Amino acid sequence: MKILLVAGARPNFMKVAPLLHECDQREGIRAILVHTGQHYDEGLSNIFFRDLGIRAADYELKVGSGSHAEQTAEIMRRFEPVCVAENPDVVLVVGDVNSTMAAALVAVKLGIPVAHVEAGLRSFDRTMPEEINRVVTDAVASWHFTTEPTANENLSREGAPEDRIHFVGNVMIDTLLTCRERAAGSRVLDELELRNGSAGPAPYGVVTLHRPSNVDDPARLLALVKALEEISETLLLIFPVHPRTSGALKRLGWPGGNGRLRLVKPLGYLDFLQLLANARLVVTDSGGIQEETTILQVPCLTVRENTERPITVSCGWNRLVGTDPDALVSACRRELARGPRRGQRPPLWDGKASQRILDVLAGEKLEETLGTTALEGLNSITQHTQETQ
Ligand code: UD1
């Protein structure tokens, strides 16, 4: 069985890593890795390959940045000949970035079935580019691998056949659990001077903001960083800044942090995991970080009006605080004033999602092969009977 895996942007790499590993371990499966190059910086791409032990991609499409139409079209244009040359049994896409949707569209139009990992998540907010990518990818996928029960409900409501929806858990959490120990050896807390002598890490919070809805509008971004400055008077904040956000902050002419709100470059996977794991709280608009904090049992305040990952809220570790800066400041104060939280772990977020996915794909291939062999057997018996009559 030949599986073509597609990764393009930072949040894809931790999802593809365990799938690729699982493919490489199984006999009879050949995995081909395609990196679209949607993200190309050392800090957004290369370091993840090293940290996660991902082998070099078989194909580098090097599409780079652009408008949504430009980037999507360029991925499609460069991905099509790869699909034609490799003619895989399955194209496996993860998450909800432009690379996910572009690769899925190319494959399905060539008659190659698509498997979507992290299918069925819905924010019901079509102003989010990721929501469009999710809806389109799910509409053309033949296998839907889901991370939480609401995703199954969304897919069923949209008419996906029940036998194509597989609740398997979360591949990103496979990676987190695999890397947890190695991340504990990261020196990031020392490098950022977050150690409090023998008393362990000093209390600090982690901030990430990169959604266009939060950072592209200068007035909104300025109001948010002012709110963060206010919060940082009570809790030291470490803010690894995404390139989209650092560009927006530069255009804003914001002087950049007050010593208690510390802006740092984007971190690699292991350093970031270690930073998250020891944080007092996290303020974010990322999708993946809502899930990672749920497993790390760190309170997460999400600066969005909605989430496509409601299980992180119902499990008790994530709160949607909206995008109003005053509401964010009050939510942080409340969180810091309360005692330790108690929450739950979502079902099947146990480190075995990639195994389950490969079990499904390999199982179907086997059935298909056995089915064909059985059919061939039947045909030859029929032919033999006719010849001897
Ligand atoms: C993309 C995904 C988003 C994901 C995020 C994680 C889509 C629609 N968006 O958003 O879902 O949460 O990645 O980071 O697919 N840039 C660099 N270096 C890079 C890549 C980008 O400097 O390696 C800069 C460029 O100026 C680019 C901007 O960042 O224009 C935005 O990059 P882009 O890939 O368009 O979207 P993200 O905001 O990163």
Is 210 noted as a catalytic residue in this protein? Answer: yes
- Taking CA atoms, 110 is separated from 58, 90, 269, 324, in Å, by 20, 11, 35, 45
DSSP 297: T
- Which positions ≥6 away from 380 have C-beta within 8 Å? none
Mean pLDDT of the chain: 94
**Ligand 1 atom, smallest distance to 97 CA:** 15
**With contact defined as beta carbons under 8 Å apart, do 291 and 173 qualify?**
yes
pLDDT tens for each residue of 93-131: 999 999 999 999 999 999 999 999 999 999 999 999 999
Phi, psi angle pair for 300, to nearest 5°? -120, 130
> 150 exposed, middle or buried (CB, 10 Å; 0-12, 13-18, 19+)?
middle
- Percent of the chain with pLDDT strictly greater than 70: 95
pLDDT confidence bin for 195, thresholds 50/70/90: confident
Q: What is the mean pLDDT of residues 229-253?
A: 95
- CA-nearest residue for atom 35, ligand 1, is 65
Which 3 state secondary structure label does DSSP give 302?
Answer: strand
Between the CA of 214 and the centroid of ligand 1 the distance, in Å, is 14
pTM: 0.93
387 alpha carbon – ligand 1 mean position (Å): 65
Annotated catalytic residue, options 21, 116, 144, 210? 210
Question: How many CB atoms lie under 10 A from the CB of residue 206?
Answer: 24
pLDDT at 135 over 60: yes
Q: How far is CA 251 from CA 212, 303, 354, in A?
A: 14, 22, 42
Count Cβ atoms within 10 A of the Cβ of residue 383 and give its class: 0-12 exposed, 13-18 middle, 19 or more buried: exposed
Mutation choice for ligand 1 from 97, 172, 214, 249, CB with most ligand atoms inside 8 A? 97
Is pLDDT above 80 for 290? yes
Q: Which strands make up the sheet holding 261-264, listed edge to edge?
A: 261-264, 236-240, 204-208, 281-284, 300-302, 318-320
- Per-residue pLDDT reduced to its tens digit, 33-86: 999 999 999 999 999 999 999 999 999 999 999 999 999 999 999 999 999 999
Atom 21 of ligand 1: nearest residue by CA position:
39
Ligand 1 mean position to 344 CA, how many Å?
32
User: Where does the pLDDT of residue 366 fall: very low under 50, low under 70, confident under 90, or very high at 90 and above?
Assistant: confident
Is the separation of the CB atoms in 308 and 287 below 8 Å?
yes
Contact between 18 and 174 (Cβ < 8 Å): yes
Distance 367 CA to ligand 1 centre (A): 40
Q: Which of 58-62, 64-68, 331-335, 364-368 comes out lowest in average pLDDT?
A: 364-368
- pLDDT at residue number 374: 58
Residue 389 has pLDDT above 50, yes or no: no
Query: Which 8-state DSSP code applies to residue 41?
Result: S
Q: What is the mean pLDDT of residues 280-299?
A: 98
Q: What pLDDT, on the 0 to 100 scale, is given for residue 386?
A: 53
pLDDT digits (tens, 9 = 90+) for 143-192: 999 999 999 999 999 999 999 999 999 999 999 999 999 999 999 999 99
| Residue to probe by mutation, ligand 1, list 6, 65, 172, most atoms within 8 Å of CB | 65
Protein residues with CB under 6 Å of any ligand 1 atom: 9-11, 38-41, 44-45, 65, 97-98, 129-130, 210, 242-244, 247
Band of residue 340 on the pLDDT scale cut at 50, 70, 90: confident
Q: Which 3 state secondary structure label does DSSP give 70?
A: helix
Residue with CA at minimum distance from ligand 1 atom 27: 65
What atom of ligand 1 comes closest to residue 39's alpha carbon? 23
The Å distance, Cα 285 to ligand 1 centre, comes to 14
Q: What are the DSSP E strand ranges found in the chain?
A: 2-7, 30-35, 59-60, 90-94, 114-117, 143-146, 165-167, 204-208, 236-240, 261-264, 281-284, 300-302, 318-320
The whole-angstrom separation of Cα 381 and Cα 378 is 5
Ligand 1 atom, smallest distance to 45 CA: 23
Note the pLDDT of residue 339: 80
Q: Is 256 in contact with 222 (CB distance < 8 Å)?
A: no
The predicted pLDDT at position 367 comes to 82
pLDDT, residue 372, reads: 61
Residue among 94, 29, 98 nearest 61 (CA):
98
Which burial class, exposed, middle or buried, applies to 293 when counting CB atoms under 10 A from its CB (0-12, 13-18, 19+)? buried
Ligand 1 centre to CA of 44 (Å) is 9
Res. 221: pLDDT tops 90 = yes
pLDDT in the model for residue 379: 54
φ and ψ at residue 313, rounded to 5 degrees? -80, -45
